[in-house]
Chains A and B, each alone.
Chain A
Amino acid sequence: NAGVTQTPKFQVLKTGQSMTLQCAQDMNHEYMSWYRQDPGMGLRLIHYSVGAGITDQGEVPNGYNVSRSTTEDFPLRLLSAAPSQTSVYFCASSPSAGRYEQYFGPGTRLTVT
């Protein structure tokens, strides 16, 4: 199993540009989520999905869209990038509700100039 994969690893955008961060998992996990990591802030939940076709907002959803058309993929779209979205983005997945831990991807470092 490859686990949770994310692409790209690094990205630089200009203000106002849009892009999609890709996330895929091959563990047949129901739950997937996106976090952003900023210095001194820990990880904050952006959006999450409890299964294909079902998504919901997390703590900091503004400026981001998600969709979940398959169990495997959970892309994160930045509609119009802003410097405040400069961050490291992590995707995570979990097999089901309950006490299971989440598995994290390697992250995407995004810089918006």
Chain B
Amino acid sequence: GDSVTQMEGPVTLSEEAFLTINCTYTATGYPSLFWYVQYPGEGLQLLLKATKADDKGSNKGFEATYRKETTSFHLEKGSVQVSDSAVYFCALKKSGGSNYKLTFGKGTLLTVNP
């Protein structure tokens, strides 16, 4: 079945450091890929998405590129801020038809220190 594997946390960085959170997936066909962010005490919010190979999703300085050849969707940010401290989830959804289900990775806790 479909699955998402993301790097285990926690990840602790200093402000302005470079961030990479790795995400790889297993799925048939061409799923859509998402990164969600969960700030403390809140629900999940969509951070960015990509719907086909080589697409780059970007938002709030975060980027991720849909790499079909390596089945990856790694999240990057060039300079993190304390306010980026949160749990980040990689997720996929199969394309087409009536398949609505999201498959999530286990989440990566990021802590950014001043």
Interface residues on B, range: 20 to 34
Is B25 an interface residue, CB under 8 A from the partner?
Answer: no
Contact among B34, B42, B100, B104 for A42, CB-based, below 8 A: B104
A31: chain B residues within 8 A (beta carbon): 100
Contact among B42, B45, B95 for A99, CB-based, below 8 A: B95
Interface residues on A, range: 20 to 34
Q: How many A-B residue pairs have CB under 8 A?
A: 56
Is A48 a contact of B100 with CB atoms below 8 Å?
A: yes
Is B27 an interface residue, CB under 8 A from the partner?
Answer: no
B95: chain A residues within 8 A (beta carbon): 98-99
Residues of chain B at the chain A interface (Cβ within 8 Å): 32, 34, 36, 42-46, 49, 51, 89, 93, 95-102, 104-107
Residues of chain A at the chain B interface (Cβ within 8 Å): 4, 31, 33, 40-45, 48, 50, 58, 90, 92, 94, 97-99, 101-107
